Structure 1
Amino acid sequence: MSNTAAVVAGYIRAMGTRFVFAYPGDPVIELMEALRTLGIEVVLATREGTAVFMAEAHAMVTGLPGVCLSTLGPGSTAIVNGVAAATWDRVPMLAISGQIDPGREDFVTHQVVDHKLLFSPVAKWAGRIHPRSVDTVMRKALRLAVAERPGAVHLTGSAEAFAASAPDTAIALPPLDGGAGGIRVQMVPGGPDPAAVLRAARRPVLLAGAAATRCGATGALIRLAEGVGAPVVVSPMAKGVFPEDHPLFAGVLDMACNQVVWEFLAGSDLVVAAGFDPVELIRPWQLAVPVLHVDTTPNTDQIYPSGCELVGDVSASLDRLADGWRGGPRWTEREVAAHRDRLRTAYYAGRVAGRLNPTDVIDVVRAAAPPETVVTCDVGSHKLLVGQGWQTLRPRGVLMSNGLSAMGLGLPGAIAAQMTLGETPVVALIGDGGFAMAATELRLAATRGLRLAVVVFADSSLNRIELKQRALGYPSTATRLDDIDLVALAGSMGCDGVRVTSAAQLEKAMAGLAGLTRPLLIEARIDPSQYEAQF
């Protein structure tokens, strides 16, 4: 018989997982040894809060559950934010925390937190690892994590449970493809079918969201958009699901220039919501335009009314609409180009001549980075500009938290993405506030010799909140950050560092991107005035 830890590790290996991100403690020692024995690397982060973001980014890149490991008590409470982020960002995750032995859990108080109560509000399920049921629990945890809509599952295990013998059973991995199932047409009684709804529209727009990415719907989106002649707007976490250099690409919802995009949608006569998840909405849905709901789940959110729904695999649903299309193109490429020109003008509003503007940073880094570069983006004013302005040509090319919108993902996420992707270039675009939350992870990047570029938008401010204080006539309170010499910090962590104050200096710093031999930290001293004009 094998022990329980070996069964857990066996399921993790069966997924094809190479890394488990951890900050360990006594109760999980047996599990870590089982993982090591099976060739799975347990990666030590500098704290639990960054380990869980690494697991989230690993899942964003692969589409499979990321795995993080913590100890009991403060170790478990420290991963709550990342577990919640995975759930609200619709990213599959398996989070495992140690606990004292069950026989003492009901009366010992030292470092004992009720994990069921702690994680149930922020995870899809909070379960327990036990020798007699470990096989079933692992199958349930992994299936739940990937099932639509995906999210985090938390499991609790004690040292006693991990070391105990478990029945010999073959690893029986459940399907890990989300399992949206066949297409179901749901409509109000007597209403038109989805194809008829689309054919009746004269100015339809496709709004693609994260479920379109999970369903691999890029080809179907392109086919339908080109057949109908319909522009495509995407949500931030779906960037790249429709190529952003395509003539029918019409921008990103609820990022910079959001008013321009919302006005464009308001000028349509049908929105085809293709895998769009309302968890990404920053402003309320206020369109009076009819919506055709196409998603892996029914329209239970009811953020918008939709008398007709296509429920199931988003790619297959879009292909069905394309098969039923009859008629000529509804929009011309010239009309969509005129909208993109308006969007571009709004995007560059507020630039200060002779200074390093946030959009300058994005433009220079985008021009220097290869087309296949994957970007991680932290939360803050810069995210709204990156979300709109960074051109992405393929799915999963931009990794961001835009469901929970949790700060701190940018650097640990970039590290995990680079470890997972190998030769694919990775760049982190981070505000100085988000960077401060995870700065010590630079050492991990250096130790692993990652050829990673980390660009910090340095303005010594929690800008989004400071702008709102200013709009109310209030002084900046608890929103100004003390300056840190990031170049010196990079050197102390075994990384290269450079400070830039102009686009020309940034271009010079980025010129060596292909030849990096260790992480490069770029402190981009920006003028934040453009943020005020934007937001």
Structure 2
Amino acid sequence: MNVSEVMAQYLRAAGIDVMFGYPGDPSVELLEGCRNVGVDFILGRREGTAGLMAQAYGMLTGKPGVALSTLGPGATNLVNAVANAYLDRTPMIAISGQIDTKRLPTFTHQVVDQHSLFTPVSKWATSIAPHTAGHIMRKAHRTAMAPRQGPVHITTPADYVGAEATDDEIHLPPTNGVGHGIVVYGEEGADPVAMINKANRPVILYGISAMQGHAGAEIAALAERIGAALVSSPMAKGTVGETHPLFAGVLDMACNAQMWDLVRSADLVIAAGFDGVELIKPWDVSAPVLHIDTVPNTDQIYASPLEMVGSISHILAALADEVKSAEGFTENDIRTHRDALMAAYEAGRVSGILNPSDVIRIAKVDAPTDTIVTADVGSHKLLVGQGWTTHNPRSCLNSNGLSSMGFSLPAAMVAKYLYPDRNVICFTGDGGLAMVQSELRLAASLGLGLKVVVFCDNSLNRIELKQMARQYPSTGTVIEDTDIVKMAESMSCNGVMVENEQGLADALATPMTNTPLVIGARIDPKQYWTQF
């Protein structure tokens, strides 16, 4: 096999059946290698959005998404998506072509130092060669999947991609943690069971690693035993179904004051796979934190006197077996909190117009429980993060580490590509859509019948709110009005503009087809000012 064939064979053996990207000259051999083994290639309209598609693949499947670019501007355009996967803790294998090794030391046209470019935003950046092909793919795979999960970047020189590989063995490393070993860090004699037994108002704050470690059942079981309020990070939504009677809400989304008040009222926070990369507000909680994760608490965003490192689900199950049963937060306590939270969520709502919170509420009405939703970055993401009831893990996708605008549409496209029979709703703002709207043509050509709901307020609202708070005029935050219907039709999609609740409900009730539906929801943004 040549080097490209080894790479393609490895990806197929790892269960990866699709690659996203924008190819160039150094990609030709790899594209052919993938075609021959049945790894599909999806041509994004630019490298950045193709990379976001690869990230969404990793979020949805738990396997590394694969992104491909050419050299020079292709590689530089891919950087944002790799950085997004890095801070969103999502496994990815990013591949960029490069000129041949003979010219690389002295040639300058389209040449950038890709190793230096990707090292700060990936877990590992390297180059592949005929004598390292199998080893590099194995290490890239294992590194991407190791806690904390993230992207790796491989440079493929033009004179190597078609060269015969002397290292051509395909050996898959173990990537699913099944060990039950627990490492405890803390003062001598520190006892996590005693720490939990002492608490009267415990909160379990769970995050990305808990979702990736399939720890939802163990989180719920421990919460039920000790009466812990359940608080999710935005990217962990659905780890525990959000109809659970102890589910209190999502941290740092809409109504964050109420959520922080709840967490600050706790006398113990059990951080189960919670990653501080998701925090928007600084940690301001006096209660002690019991850190439970696959990695030690090296970030020190919150102080923790006791750390338990290992399989999150195993640690939680062991604790649930040993701690004493306690009342803690009652279901009535959580119900009272949730009622106040939802009242705050609807604050500022005005009858007779389409408010931002109306969009989420109406979209939820008839949505099946296995609906996949994606949210872009902006004020509407805060509403989706708090207001969308998520029943299953990996079914509410957002970028909350790097928080890159333009994420929602490519993510929703991949969701519909992987799960064509599931209802997929993309929530995005007019600013976020403007960054990636050319991908709608790809969605149409792939026959992806997703629904794209656009919050149309003609502004970059998050920034405009900050200008308003300082009594500055709106400067550099206006998004010119776009004819959503004509834009959608130009991309071979269906389009509709709605300005009231009934119009939105009718549009969302449109039967599923193989054609994307773009719904422009003309909202009044005044409610944002009240809420945020």
Q: TM-score range by the shorter chain?
A: over 0.9
Partner of 1:176: 175
Q: In the alignment, residue 498 of structure 1 is paired with which amino acid?
A: V
Identity rate of aligned residues, in percent?
A: 54
Partner of 1:279: 277
Give the alignment's Cα RMSD to 1 decimal: 1.1
Deviations 1:86-129 (A, max 9, x none): 00000000000000011111111000000011000111111101
Deviations 1:62-85 (A, max 9, x none): 011000100000000001000000
Partner of 2:143: 144
Task: Tell me, in whole angstroms, the C-alpha distance in 2 between the residues paired with 1:123 and 1:426.
Answer: 30
Task: Tell me, in whole angstroms, the C-alpha distance in 1 between the residues paired with 2:245 and 2:180.
Answer: 32
Partner of 2:245: 247
Task: Tell me, in whole angstroms, the C-alpha distance in 2 between the residues paired with 1:307 and 1:126.
Answer: 35
Q: Check if 1:488 corresponds to 2:480.
A: no
Deviation of 1:327 after TM superposition, in Å, equals 2.8
Deviation of 1:168 after TM superposition, in Å, equals 6.1
Deviations 1:398-419 (A, max 9, x none): 1110000011111111111111
- Residue 384 of structure 2: which of 386, 390, 394 is its match? 386
Q: In the alignment, residue 216 of structure 1 is paired with which amino acid?
A: H
- The alignment of Structure 1 onto Structure 2 pairs a total of residues equal to 532
Partner of 1:531: 528
Partner of 1:432: 430
SS of residue in 2 equivalent to 1:31: helix
Deviation of 1:182 after TM superposition, in Å, equals 2.4
Contact 2:229 2:246 in 1 (8 A): yes
Deviation of 1:176 after TM superposition, in Å, equals 2.3
Contact 2:428 2:453 in 1 (8 A): yes
Task: Tell me, in whole angstroms, the C-alpha distance in 1 between the residues paired with 2:464 and 2:281.
Answer: 19
Deviations 1:211-236 (A, max 9, x none): 10010001101111111121100000
Task: Tell me, in whole angstroms, the C-alpha distance in 2 between the residues paired with 1:58 and 1:22.
Answer: 13
Task: Tell me, in whole angstroms, the C-alpha distance in 1 between the residues paired with 2:81 and 2:479.
Answer: 24
Q: In the alignment, residue 118 of structure 2 is paired with which amino acid?
A: F
Where does 1:414-493 land on structure 2 (aligned, <5 Å)?
A: 414-493=412-491
Partner of 2:55: 56
Q: In the alignment, residue 48 of structure 1 is paired with which amino acid?
A: E
SS of residue in 2 equivalent to 1:120: helix
Partner of 1:500: 498
Q: In the alignment, residue 423 of structure 1 is paired with which amino acid?
A: D
Task: Tell me, in whole angstroms, the C-alpha distance in 2 between the residues paired with 1:526 and 1:116.
Answer: 45
- Residue 364 of structure 1: which of 358, 362, 365 is its match? 362
Task: Tell me, in whole angstroms, the C-alpha distance in 2 between the residues paired with 1:411 and 1:203.
Answer: 40
Task: Tell me, in whole angstroms, the C-alpha distance in 1 between the residues paired with 2:107 and 2:180.
Answer: 46
Partner of 1:214: 212
Deviation of 1:181 after TM superposition, in Å, equals 6.4
Task: Tell me, in whole angstroms, the C-alpha distance in 2 between the residues paired with 1:426 and 1:100.
Answer: 40
Partner of 2:67: 68
Partner of 2:517: 520
Q: In the alignment, residue 142 of structure 1 is paired with which amino acid?
A: H
Task: Tell me, in whole angstroms, the C-alpha distance in 1 between the residues paired with 2:153 and 2:180.
Answer: 25
Q: In the alignment, residue 530 of structure 1 is paired with which amino acid?
A: Q
Q: Which moved more, 1:487-496 or 1:66-75?
A: 487-496
Going from structure 1 to structure 2, the CA distance change for 1:176 and 1:421 (only over 3 Å counts) comes to farther
Deviation of 1:189 after TM superposition, in Å, equals 2.3
Deviations 1:416-458 (A, max 9, x none): 1111123122110001111111101111111111111000001
Contact 1:146 1:178 in 2 (8 A): no
Q: Which moved more, 1:265-274 or 1:327-336?
A: 327-336
Partner of 1:224: 222
Q: Check if 1:289 corresponds to 2:254.
A: no
Partner of 1:102: 101
Partner of 1:86: 85
Task: Tell me, in whole angstroms, the C-alpha distance in 2 between the residues paired with 1:130 and 1:502.
Answer: 59
Task: Tell me, in whole angstroms, the C-alpha distance in 2 between the residues paired with 1:182 and 1:87.
Answer: 27
Partner of 1:318: 316
Deviations 1:152-204 (A, max 9, x none): 1000002211100012643101122267762222211233x111110111111
Q: Which moved more, 1:324-333 or 1:460-469?
A: 324-333
SS of residue in 2 equivalent to 1:328: coil
Partner of 1:158: 157
Q: In the alignment, residue 238 of structure 1 is paired with which amino acid?
A: A
Partner of 1:34: 33
Deviation of 1:515 after TM superposition, in Å, equals 3.0
Task: Tell me, in whole angstroms, the C-alpha distance in 1 between the residues paired with 2:118 and 2:64.
Answer: 17
Contact 1:148 1:180 in 2 (8 A): no
Deviations 1:472-512 (A, max 9, x none): 12111110001110111111111111000001100111112
Q: In the alignment, residue 92 of structure 1 is paired with which amino acid?
A: P
Partner of 2:330: 332
Deviation of 1:339 after TM superposition, in Å, equals 0.6
Contact 1:148 1:179 in 2 (8 A): no
Q: In the alignment, residue 68 of structure 1 is paired with which amino acid?
A: A
SS of residue in 2 equivalent to 1:233: strand
Task: Tell me, in whole angstroms, the C-alpha distance in 2 between the residues paired with 1:254 and 1:299.
Answer: 20
Going from structure 1 to structure 2, the CA distance change for 1:534 and 1:206 (only over 3 Å counts) comes to same
Runs of 4 or more above 6 Å deviation: none
Contact 1:194 1:308 in 2 (8 A): yes
Deviations 1:282-339 (A, max 9, x none): 0100111111111111111111111111111111111011011213322210011001
Contact 1:6 1:31 in 2 (8 A): yes
Task: Tell me, in whole angstroms, the C-alpha distance in 1 between the residues paired with 2:388 and 2:214.
Answer: 21
Task: Tell me, in whole angstroms, the C-alpha distance in 2 between the residues paired with 1:125 and 1:249.
Answer: 37
Task: Tell me, in whole angstroms, the C-alpha distance in 2 between the residues paired with 1:334 and 1:360.
Answer: 27
Contact 1:30 1:159 in 2 (8 A): no
Contact 2:130 2:167 in 1 (8 A): no
Partner of 2:115: 116
Q: Which moved more, 1:263-272 or 1:161-170?
A: 161-170
Partner of 2:189: 190
Task: Tell me, in whole angstroms, the C-alpha distance in 1 between the residues paired with 2:92 and 2:484.
Answer: 32
Contact 2:132 2:167 in 1 (8 A): no
Gap regions ≥5 residues in structure 2: none
Name the TM-score, length of structure 2 as normaliser.
0.99
SS of residue in 1 equivalent to 2:68: strand
